[in-house]
Amino acid sequence: MSTSPSETSPAVAPAATVRIIASPQSWVEGEAVRQLEAVARLPGMRLAVGLPDLHPGKGAPVGAAFESEGFLYPYLVGSDIGCGMGLWDVDLPVRKTKAERWAAKLDLEGAWEGDAEAFLAEHGGKATGFEAALGTVGGGNHFAEVQRVETVHDARVFEALGLRAERLLLLVHSGSRGLGEAILRTHVDRHAAGGLAAGTAEARTYLERHDGAVTWARANRALVAQRTLDGIGATGRRVLDVCHNSVTVRHSDGRVGWLHRKGAAPSDEGPVVIPGSRGALSYLVLPVGPGEHSAHSLAHGAGRKWTRTAARERLKERFTAESLTRTVFKSHVVCEDRDLLFEEAPPAYKAIDRVVTDLVEAGLVRVVATLAPVLTYKTRGRSAE
């Protein structure tokens, strides 16, 4: 479904084009559409795109991208600045998988014992005061997941990435932890959900801190991967790393604009992994086409179907906590936070195959491979401060 302002017919017509990229088979909650239209009415907004994983967020929808001119909006990026997905090729064959043993011993909680400042410097970052959390997954929908290749759909692209079907992979979803939250809080304390005029001192200060958080988040994913690989007795090579919560400058036709992504993967940085829930496949895809129609963005995951509260209430009547530590793929789930186990259960999410099919049918991606979970790490129940 692709909509324009005249087709959405909100109470007050959006100033920007509103476009939802989703088929009739995809369920998009009305509140998410309302939030998308509200963002379209912000000063300077030119385009608001909802992707197939679109769902309501805190004041602004998730699974969306927004293009503005003259103003940028930190609130649209949210608190987890720099959050994204990193994929590692693991130097370990699938036949040597020891998921049950790994699940029993893998522990990514607590501060890393190495030199965090040196690690950040090595990855282009600098100390921020949040180094105790560096190398930790975090809460919510974040994870580190050991995966196996289910099916290769495009052998040429798959092999060009240096991947082999018989080897394991590692997907890490995490962000800037408390750093991004502190940056957003500073902005909200002064401006609430308001934007910043481009080119002002306040905008420059936010962008500098934002860019630092993006770099910090990328380093965090690298350290989560290193700790995971150490824990399973393997080494790995980073294949890709993309950010899905950010604001970036874009130059087009002599105009300077700002592209906000809130739970939207970039379509202009090469291959992307779009994960399902912990009990579903993940999709390695190659973006295709020029990208203007979708604000150069793709879905970043399956997207929530139920709120966390609803998921807990509904699923505690159907499942035991113990049953949710195994999946239909016979993979293991490490999650010692009982509430989180239910909140992040597979039924709480949309069907990832439908989300990706929508992207394929819209001419935005080509599927390279599907990846199945082997071990999903969420939390041991304690975290770094």
Residue 220 labeled ligand binder: no
Domain 17-379, CATH: 3.90.1860.10
Residue 178 labeled ligand binder: no
Render pLDDT for 160-169 as a digit per residue (tens, 0 to 9): 999 999 999 9
Render pLDDT for 256-301 as a digit per residue (tens, 0 to 9): 999 999 999 999 999 999 999 999 999 999 999 999 999 999 999 9
Residue 141 labeled ligand binder: yes
Residue 191 labeled ligand binder: no
Q: Is 300 a catalytic residue?
A: yes
Please state, in angstroms and rounded to a whole number, the distance separating the CA atoms of residues 161 and 134.
28
Residue 296 labeled ligand binder: no
Domain ranges within the chain, ordered by starting residue: 17-379
Question: Please, what is the average pLDDT of the chain?
Answer: 94
Residue 302 labeled ligand binder: yes
Residue among 324, 333, 267 at smallest CA distance from 300: 267
The confidence score (pLDDT) of residue 14 equals: 57
Mean pLDDT of 197-225: 98
- pLDDT band at 2, cuts 50/70/90? very low
The confidence score (pLDDT) of residue 194 equals: 95
Percent above pLDDT 90 for the chain: 93
- pLDDT band at 253, cuts 50/70/90? confident
Residue 180 labeled ligand binder: no
Please state, in angstroms and rounded to a whole number, the distance separating the CA atoms of residues 87 and 64.
22
Is the pLDDT score of 1 beyond 60? no
DSSP 292: G
Q: Are 24 and 8 in contact (CB under 8 A)?
A: no
Residues comprising the chain, all counted:
385
Render pLDDT for 46-65 as a digit per residue (tens, 0 to 9): 999 999 999 999 989 999 99
- pLDDT band at 15, cuts 50/70/90? confident
> Which of 6-15, 139-148, 230-239, 336-345 has the least mean pLDDT?
6-15
Compare 322 and 7 and report the one with higher pLDDT: 322
Render pLDDT for 354-364 as a digit per residue (tens, 0 to 9): 999 999 999 99
Mean pLDDT of 331-335: 97
Tell me, what amino acid is at 384? A
End-to-end CA distance of the chain: 43
Please state, in angstroms and rounded to a whole number, the distance separating the CA atoms of residues 139 and 137.
7
Render pLDDT for 299-321 as a digit per residue (tens, 0 to 9): 999 999 999 999 999 999 999 99
DSSP 200: S
The confidence score (pLDDT) of residue 10 equals: 41
Residue 132: partners with Cβ closer than 8 Å, 6 or more residues away: 111, 116, 384, 385
The confidence score (pLDDT) of residue 3 equals: 38
Percent above pLDDT 70 for the chain: 95
Distances (CA, A) of 346 to 140, 165, 262, 304: 14, 25, 22, 10
Mean pLDDT of 131-154: 97
b/e for 227-239, b at 16 or more Cβ within 10 A?
Answer: bbbebbebebeeb
Residue 378 labeled ligand binder: yes
Render pLDDT for 69-99 as a digit per residue (tens, 0 to 9): 999 999 999 999 999 999 999 999 999 999 9
Q: Catalytic residue, from 55, 210, 300, 332: name it.
A: 300
Please state, in angstroms and rounded to a whole number, the distance separating the CA atoms of residues 261 and 335.
28
- pLDDT band at 32, cuts 50/70/90? very high
Is the pLDDT score of 103 beyond 90? yes
- pLDDT band at 9, cuts 50/70/90? very low
Residue 244 labeled ligand binder: yes
Residue 282 labeled ligand binder: yes
Q: Are 261 and 82 in contact (CB under 8 A)?
A: no
The confidence score (pLDDT) of residue 272 equals: 98
